[in-house]
Amino acid sequence: MDGLPIAFQLKGRGVLVVGGGTTALRKLRLLVKTSAEITVIASTPDSDLISYAAETGLTLIKRQFSASDLSNKVMVISATGNPSLDNSVSEAAKGRNIPINVPDRPDLCTFHIPSIVDRDPVVIAISTSGNAPVLARHIRERIEKLLPKNIGKLAKFAREFRSAVKSMIPSAQDRLNLWESVLAGPIAQKVLSGKITMAREDMVKLVNQIPEKADHGIVHIVGVGPGDPDLLTLKAFRLMQTADVIVYDRLISTEILDLARRDADRIFVGKSKGYHHKTQDEINQILATKARAGKRVIRLKGGDPFLFGRGGEEMKHLHQCDIPVEIVPGITAATGCAASLGIPLTHRGIAAGVTFITGHGFNGAPNIDWTGLSRSDNTIVIYMGLSRAREIAEKLMTNGMRSNMPVAVIENGTRTDERTIVGVLEELPQLISEHDLSGPSLLIIGKTVNEMTSPISHDLLSDLPQAIAV
């Protein structure tokens, strides 16, 4: 991140705009929403700009820019459309360390003006650091649609009660819990639907009833899907915004972690095959200890917590400790990877079912009915199967599965570095050993692999000497 988004306080401070055309006018329309003291310098301003200055009361000076115009200014925008004049304004501003923006000239800027969602006092800035202003506008339009119209009223409502809440509730944690429940609950809903008087009455009651003791904590065991942050559920996303503590492991992508509340404590409890940073008991202890301290703990799990995720073990332990726990399902790697590749896991007339198995059992090899599996028409999805791929392929073939059954291996499915290898069952171990797969990988075995519809652009597919036999 080269630029840090900040909210610059402009109330009563001098801002200079140089230029008298439509670009300058567009910037002025934004600036007048602040309480800055705005001066415009333009030798021949457009008539629209002249009327706008008269209408809004900003100072318009009709003459050439001079460096002395910068005195007492805290920000400058040069939108003259004249490259050499913009250049001189930029140099003069930079020489005095005054932030300068020149529309469409990133080389002359020391700051960019983000795309803005304005629900004053709630303001959201979207910046692409000058790389793609149109993309910023698209993102803004999506946020505009998502955000309740009255969100600014909610912020004003919170400000109205802030000092009362502070004086009534001494503990910072209790205050945080109160605001979390107010903003996510019926009081906020009333404000958002315009029933402010009712919301005020409820709020007064709530503040007067608040128990002295801090609330007990809670653990949310949250599935976040296979890696693509767009596959998060809304519930997972919302909980990640309110967490006090985030406990995560190596399957959680950085893009997903970046969406979590910034000031939450983050605890890495990564495990990788054969090497345990933290044992399951230690993880259980961390979850319980943090929740007992009154924290809202989010235990992030790759995929779905109840599919090969040990979510059940963590839930059981927390129940035994009498700690409230909630499970939030996620998109499991099988469905995420299948969707990404366009492989239907069931398909009428081809696969009547799907079986999820793990390549790792509780104590070594998994206890699996290989005969039933080899002879059924089910698609088989194998989690954690890479290191046992040879054994798995042999078991399936000796129990009756045809050796040219299509297989797909997907590494880092749904992530930007997703890779796919396709082939047939008998060559599965060789395919895996030929490619250096280090990320989480899934095996899909069955006739539906042939139904793969997505255009595969992954490098590995074209490397294959033998593509799948359709």
Q: Which residues are catalytic?
A: 249, 271
| Stretch in the footprint of ligand SAM (CB under 6 A) among 12-20, 154-162, 288-296, 413-421 | 413-421
Give the residue ranges of DSSP H helices in 185-323.
Answer: 186-192, 196-209, 234-242, 254-257, 280-292, 311-320
- How far is residue 231's CA from residue 345's CA, in Å, rounded to a whole number? 18
Does residue 381 touch ligand SAM according to CB under 6 A? no
Q: Taking the complex as a whole, how short is the minimal distance between the CB of residue 375 and ligand SAM, in angstroms?
A: 24
Q: Taking the complex as a whole, how short is the minimal distance between the CB of residue 374 and ligand SAM, in angstroms?
A: 21
What tokens does 119 get? 């629900």
Q: Do the Cβ atoms of 316 and 310 come closer than 8 Å?
A: no
- How far is residue 263's CA from residue 265's CA, in Å, rounded to a whole number? 6
Find the binder of ligand SAM among 17, 178, 327, 410 (CB under 6 A): 410
- Mapping DSSP onto H, E and C, the string for 132-173 reads CHHHHHHHHHHHHHHCCCCHHHHHHHHHHHHHHHHHHCCCHH
Minimal CB distance residue for ligand SAM = 303
Give the end-to-end CA distance of the chain in Å, rounded to a whole number.
Answer: 47
Q: Taking the complex as a whole, how short is the minimal distance between the CB of residue 190 and ligand SAM, in angstroms?
A: 38
- How far is residue 288's CA from residue 218's CA, in Å, rounded to a whole number? 9
Nearer to ligand SAM, 15 or 307 (CB): 307
- How far is residue 72's CA from residue 59's CA, in Å, rounded to a whole number? 14
| Stretch in the footprint of ligand SAM (CB under 6 A) among 102-110, 123-131, 161-169, 302-310 | 302-310
323: left (phi over 0), alpha (psi -120 to 50) or beta: beta
Q: Taking the complex as a whole, how short is the minimal distance between the CB of residue 412 and ligand SAM, in angstroms?
A: 5
* Footprint (CB under 6 A) of ligand SAM, residues 306-335: 307-309, 332-333
* Among the listed residues 297, 306, 365, 362, the one whose alpha carbon sits nearest the alpha carbon of residue 331: 306
Binding mask 200-229 for ligand SAM (x = CB under 6 A): --------------------------xx--
| Stretch in the footprint of ligand SAM (CB under 6 A) among 65-73, 104-112, 164-172, 298-306 | 298-306
Does residue 354 touch ligand SAM according to CB under 6 A? no
Does residue 412 touch ligand SAM according to CB under 6 A? yes
Give me the residues that bind ligand SAM (CB under 6 A), please.
226-227, 251, 301-304, 307-309, 332-333, 337, 383-384, 410, 412-415, 440-442
